[in-house]
Structure 1
Amino acid sequence: MKSADLLPVDPHKLGRISFSPSTDGLVDDWNIEYESGSHLESLSRAASELATTSTPVAFPTETVYGLGADATRSSAVQAIFAAKGRPADNPLIVHIHSIPQLRSLLSPQDGSRNDATDPIPAIYKPLIQRFWPGPLTIILPNPSPSVLASEVTASLSTFGARMPRSILALALIRLAGVPLAAPSANASTRPSPTAAEHVYDDIGTRIHTIIDGGPCEVGVESTVVDGLSSPPTILRPGGVTVEELRRCPGWENVAVGYKDAGEVDLKPRAPGMKYRHYSPKARVVLYEAGTQAPDVQKMAEADRSVGIIRTKRWKSAAGSSGDAEMEQNNGTEINESNGTNGFVHHASDPLPPAGSDQISSQRANLLQSLTQHQVPHASHINTSGSLDIWEIDLGPDTKGVARGLFSALRELDKKGVSVILVEGIDDTVGDDIAAAVMNRLRKAAESRIKLDGE
């Protein structure tokens, strides 16, 4: 197969976004008055491919890039597993564009449900109102007979669904006219892709189309929760934190149901629970928060090429090892002194919603996804010996660390390092997504350096 086509789509150039209040108070309705041009043409082409073929399409969400296919057709879903090399017992998340579309998935395909009750479990309504569209996946009962292909659920009696906080993703799903089963668009076990180039590097010869909407906003996958269990349980940490969940009615006592190491003795109830994930080609050594920074020079005997990912406390290896050659990105140095923390943020003006100036939090969240980010770049450290050091500073902001983590692992892989030393962050306190960051790092790491007594 030839390499995939990269189709640039700028969400700012799709058209004018408008909102209207929902009839049931769950999620505001949205609409786009599309503008003709190459961006709409590219998105429409990808949507047509999803609706009429069984070849998956890669597309950006606010979390990571997804590999989407029609969730109702077995041939299309099977193609996702083939493109990724993904184990068949690892269930997929279904992406939707509206609450009516979700309700259609919760109703039996034969129309046997004839009562007037809402098929959406009441336990989830506070979460939907607060976090959708957004990085939250909810586990739902799969009706019988189900419209979903059996491969989506991995033969479970439930399925995961979410409404992404990306106007580009939502528009694609609506234009395709079908719900999209979509895991991350990387080769299985590799770091999740947060830019189109990551998808191209991993599976660019296995699919036809990659929508390039720029780097992702969140950088780690969605939080997965099971409200059908008692107590409600977090199956995977992600873009919505446990503290945020516990502020919602019915979720005050939500339990943590995931482990940071692979869970090999169970049938996974959600993606990311069982198999090795997020691993670059280089060996990853994770230094837990509070541990002493490594003496890189002493590693020269074992590893001639070393990658370093700094976050909150480690000093630059250039301070003791030599001088840093900072790579340039759009004319801006990516280093600690200029305050970019490894990123250059382009805060483009979001498309204004039509109508009222009073924008709900849901609308603000959706427009927030239009903010553009850039991936981190590595600095080369000149040393007096034969040791080759590449360093990336993700900065002290936890959201910035989450956004840049997978890109940093991939960037250092491209530099050909044999080992990547990562400064961990504290995931025991604070209302942030540190738990998701450390969950991914612990799954990726071949070894961990812990504080004495742990």
Structure 2
Amino acid sequence: MNTKVVKMDEHNLDKGSLIECGKILREGGLVVFPTETVYGLGANALNAEAVKKIFEAKGRPQDNPLIVHVCDIESIKPLVKEIPEIACKLMGKFWPGPMTIILPKSDLIPEETSAGLDSVGIRMPSNLIARELIRVSEVPIAAPSANISGRPSPTDLERCMEDLMGKVDYIIGGEKCDVGVESTVIDCTIYPPCVLRPGGITLEMFREVDDKIYIDPAIMKKPDKDFKPKAPGMKYRHYAPKAPVKIVQGELNKTVEKINEIIKECVSENKIVGVMATDETANYYKNAVIISLGSRKNLNTIAQNLFGTLRSFDDKKVDIILSESFEEEGIGIAIMNRLKKSAGFDIIKA
């Protein structure tokens, strides 16, 4: 397949290319597009055969549900059986933005899109390229992240091309994604609503709307093999670079000591070690490939840089990646959720 690539500015849209991509989507093709979270791999959410192409292009397990992207609240109504009052409140406060709401699906949503569930995740992105693409395509767009399944999600055009050139019809490039981790998923088929995947909209932010909202305790644990995911990213090993990732967890000074100890051991075995550090600690590591995610004082920056940094270690062909850990509060919960998935829950206590 010949993949067309176009780059555009969110505030200076290439309308002709977007109309062309909209036609491709209506006709059952695949289009990669930027959002504020990560890049998405889109197909017509109402076309079962088109949705199957997403799973083929990504190598994605069939029981992993897809998120349906819309450009306005009105277009949700045919896709769901009901919109509870709490969902309306959350939409009013956090849309457009990095929040996916799970609702009971209507018969319009194929089994392939919902992975056989009777619910569907819906989101309205804030990225203007994404919203205009949905508008001109005149169909809701099912879109997981635009990467080979299991790899770190792409936050820039180059990584999308690396994974999906020749597998999709069109790739639209925009700026680097603002949030850097996938949307927060909140289940509104139950009350109180439950967060199934942490992201840029934090529990603290949700509790400003309803203080009963809670996080599914399974989020930070390794899932059982029989677990049936209700939201993307809940079951499988995700966000993984080629080298194994190990998280070192403990007080920061002890973490640095432990990482240096492991570096020394690995170097003695002629292994190239990557260290995912922070501005506060990067100078304390030696004899390793060191990349800082940013300052611990700004976890939003660390989230934005997380996937790109994991991919950078692939470029540098390291044999093992050691990562510091982060406080599990605010967006730190999302950071640690993605790190634990990338490491397959391989955590070393410092």
Instruction: Specify the TM-score bucket, using the shorter chain as the normaliser.
Output: over 0.9
**Mapping of residues 55-454 of structure 1, within 5 Å:** 55-106=29-80, 119-143=82-106, 146-249=107-210, 251-260=211-220, 261-290=222-251, 291-293=254-256, 294-295=259-260, 296-311=263-278, 313-317=280-284, 321=286, 389-396=288-295, 397-427=298-328, 429=329, 432-446=330-344, 447-451=346-350
CA distance in 2, matches of 1:289, 1:131: 34
Q: Which amino acid aligns with 2:17?
A: S
Moved more, 148-157 or 86-95: 148-157
CA distance in 1, matches of 2:70, 2:289: 40
How many residues are paired up? Answer: 340
Secondary structure, aligned partner of 1:199: helix
Secondary structure, aligned partner of 1:287: strand
Using the size of structure 1 for normalisation, the TM-score is: 0.72
Secondary structure, aligned partner of 1:300: helix
Q: Which amino acid aligns with 2:267?
A: A
More helix by share: 2
TM superposition shift of 1:436: 0.4
Cα deviation, 1:361-415, whole Å, max 9, x if unaligned, reads xxxxxxxxxxxxxxxxxxxxxxxxxx5x322112221000000000001011111
Using the size of structure 2 for normalisation, the TM-score is: 0.92
Pair 1:255–1:424, CA change in 2 (3 A): closer
Q: Percent identity?
A: 42
Secondary structure, aligned partner of 2:219: coil
Cα deviation, 1:199-223, whole Å, max 9, x if unaligned, reads 1111212112110012100000011
Q: Which amino acid aligns with 1:135?
A: P
TM superposition shift of 1:254: 2.4
C-alpha contact (below 8 Å) 2:195/2:213 kept by paired residues: no
What root-mean-square deviation, in Å, do the aligned CA atoms of Structure 1 and Structure 2 show?
A: 1.7
Q: Which amino acid aligns with 2:201?
A: V
C-alpha contact (below 8 Å) 2:239/2:341 kept by paired residues: yes
Pair 1:106–1:133, CA change in 2 (3 A): same
CA distance in 1, matches of 2:86, 2:311: 39
- Counterpart of 2:25 in structure 1 is 50
CA distance in 1, matches of 2:149, 2:115: 16
CA distance in 2, matches of 1:297, 1:165: 45
Q: Which amino acid aligns with 2:299?
A: T
Stretches of structure 1 lacking an aligned partner (at least 5 in a row): 15-38, 108-118, 322-386
